[in-house]
Structure 1
Amino acid sequence: MIERRQHPRQRVLKRGMLTFLGGGGVDCTVRNISSSGARVDVPSPVGIPAQFHLVIETDQFIRRGRPVWNSDRQIGIAFD
């Protein structure tokens, strides 16, 4: 498989949250992360808006992002 990412991702297992700009959010598990994006597990990608914030409280990490792909329970995020 050809790696097309600009920045290598670090494997992690962290509790996070996708917070929606109009209010609300969904809990997630961050599986990998880099300076340009992340992969997260969610209960369902249905209803995830076009823009949101990924929040990892333990790391005091907040980044605005958008989904670039999804599967049954995973979302690929590109940070803005």
Structure 2
Amino acid sequence: MVETRIAPRYRVSKPALIEYGRNKTSCIIRNLSVTGAALQLSDGSATIPAAFTLIVPEDNLKLPCRVVWRSAFKIGVAFD
């Protein structure tokens, strides 16, 4: 398989929060690059909007994101 991503992704396992409005949903960052990430959701029924802020407490980061793909328990995001 040929890698077509702009930036290489690195496997990680970091706890994070998806923040939208006054709501926060926990997730795990499974892979990460300078352009985006794959997030694993603990609750497949959580309704995640098309745009949100990803909070990574371990790194003291707040990153504006938009969803580029979805599956039952994972979403792929690009950083804005």
Q: Tell me if both proteins adopt one fold, taking TM over 0.5 as the criterion.
A: yes
The amino acid across from 2:67 in the alignment is P
| 1:8 corresponds to | 8
**Which portions of structure 1, spanning 4 or more consecutive aligned residues, are displaced by more than 4 angstroms?**
none
Mapped to 2, the partners of 1:50 and 1:40 lie a distance apart of 14
Post-superposition offset of 1:55 = 0.7
Unpaired segments ≥5 residues, structure 2: none
How many matched pairs? Answer: 79
Instruction: State how 1:34-45 maps to structure 2 within 5 Å.
Output: 34-42=33-41, 43-44=43-44
CA RMSD, Structure 1 to Structure 2 (Å): 1.2
TM-score (norm 2): 0.91
What is the aligned-residue identity percentage? 38
The amino acid across from 1:35 in the alignment is V
| 2:25 corresponds to | 26
| SS of structure 2 residue aligned to 1:17 | strand
TM-score (norm 1): 0.91
Post-superposition offset of 1:4 = 1.6
